[in-house]
Amino acid sequence: MRVCFVVSDCNFFLTHRLDLAKVLLTKKLDVRLIASSNNTSEKDLLRIAALGIQLHEIPLRSQCASRIYGYFKYLISLRQTIKKINPEFIFYVTLEISVFGAWLNSFINTKKSFFLITGLGPFFFKKELKYRVARIIQKAVFNFSRIKKNYLFIFQNEDDLEVFTRLGFTQRKYANVIKGNGIDSKQFYYLERDYNNEIIFLFASRLVYSKGIREFLMAARTLAKLYPQAKFFIAGKYNNKDPDSISPNEYKLLQSDQALHYCGEVEHCDMNAFFTKASIFVMPSYGEGLPKVALEAAATGLPLIMSDVPGCRECVNDDVNGFTVEPRNTQDLKNKMELCIKMSDSMIDFGINSSKLIKRDFAIELISEKYLKLLN
């Protein structure tokens, strides 16, 4: 049986779908990957090849100078590559890639296509004309895919599924919820921390506004003056071409800020070291599909501070393994971070509860079994 993953680039596959692919490989399935490797190291490419996953290279849509031309070029390349591979099952990963997959689904021979909506993104609900037009096109394409009916939408939380069905992007009978890709507890294992000496808050994500980086920085700078024993680490990629990214001036200030520790972009394989050194994981995002980095942090025994928004609230039981905060509310975030400092004696129990939550609801064994059932 041949299974194909379609993602924008290899790095995203490595961080978000590799564990699932490994499980499929153990079942003797032929796993293929369609992606760009432009931003992927030779070491990671060899790692993919060593697992027995065959990479089929196509360029990123964004590499084309013209936006419209880029869409059509990517669509044509994707169709040609899929026809060459001839898979029985295809996983289109992310909303944008799923739009391409939905358009192609009626023109290719495959047993079933899966559209993995890993999140709606920061621009989905914006009211500007170009975003409204984009939603109209997405809705039309997804409804066009109903012609063959051999597809299934997979969401990572119930809120995103409800939005898609309410807005008419799909019908409930063509949708399912599977909570992420699963967390490997052998790689991200529990470690008890010492909260008596210092508290280390860790923010790990891209430096974009929708991840709540601005609120975290403001809260951290205030708390750094009040609590010298607290430290604040930021690990994340900065891309000044991303329209949601912090400004060059904000990035420059972050790099020189003595109250904060900016660690730059950290490879996924090195994140475990950051988790084990940290005390509290913070992600005040405006919305997620299901943030894998937060689940990995929780698996290692980190209490979580997350926004009370879709995708994030699934990771936190308030006052059990962390706290939820109102999105875009710096004061609320500062108060909850301060509460963790004052409640340091309770953080060990919070961390234990985080680890239990992952094993109960998000273990790789549990999640992969749900995906395997889709292929029967």
Q: What is the pLDDT of residues 11-42, one digit of tens each?
A: 999 999 999 999 999 999 999 999 999 989 99
pLDDT of res. 61: 67
Joined tokens for residue 362: 């998000």
Q: Give the mean model confidence (pLDDT) for residues 66-78.
A: 82
Q: Model confidence at 59, in pLDDT bands (50, 70, 90)?
A: confident
Q: Give the mean model confidence (pLDDT) for residues 189-213.
A: 94
Beta strands at 199-204 and 54-57: parallel, antiparallel or unpaired: unpaired
Q: Model confidence at 181, in pLDDT bands (50, 70, 90)?
A: confident
Q: Model confidence at 66, in pLDDT bands (50, 70, 90)?
A: low
Show the beta-strand stretches assigned E in 30-146: 30-36, 54-57, 89-93, 112-117
pLDDT of res. 72: 86
Residue 183 Cα distances to 96, 224, 255, 270, 306, angstroms: 24, 33, 32, 16, 18
pLDDT of res. 328: 96
Phi, psi of 31 (to 5 degrees): -100, 125
Q: What is the pLDDT of residues 228-278, one digit of tens each?
A: 999 999 999 999 989 999 999 999 999 999 999 999 999 888 999 999 999
Residue 98 Cα distances to 47, 161, 218, 334, angstroms: 26, 14, 36, 37
Q: What is the pLDDT of residues 271-307, one digit of tens each?
A: 999 999 999 999 999 999 999 999 999 999 999 999 9
pLDDT of res. 46: 95
The segment(s) of the chain belonging to CATH 3.40.50.2000 are 2-184+363-374, 199-361
pLDDT of res. 190: 96
Q: Model confidence at 68, in pLDDT bands (50, 70, 90)?
A: confident
Q: Give the mean model confidence (pLDDT) for residues 63-70.
A: 63
Does the structure show a pLDDT above 80 at 329? yes
pLDDT > 70: percent of the chain:
98
2-184+363-374: CATH superfamily: Glycogen Phosphorylase B; (3.40.50.2000)
- Averaged confidence pLDDT in the chain: 93
Model pTM score = 0.91
pLDDT of res. 206: 95
pLDDT of res. 63: 53
Entry field: residues in the chain: 376
pLDDT of res. 249: 96
Residue 20 in contact with residue 368, Cβ under 8 Å?
Answer: yes
Domain 199-361: CATH class, spelled out: alpha beta
Q: Residue 282: what residue type?
A: V
Q: What is the pLDDT of residues 107-156, one digit of tens each?
A: 898 999 999 999 998 888 888 998 899 899 999 999 988 888 899 999 99
Triad 199, 200, 201: Cα angle to 5°: 115
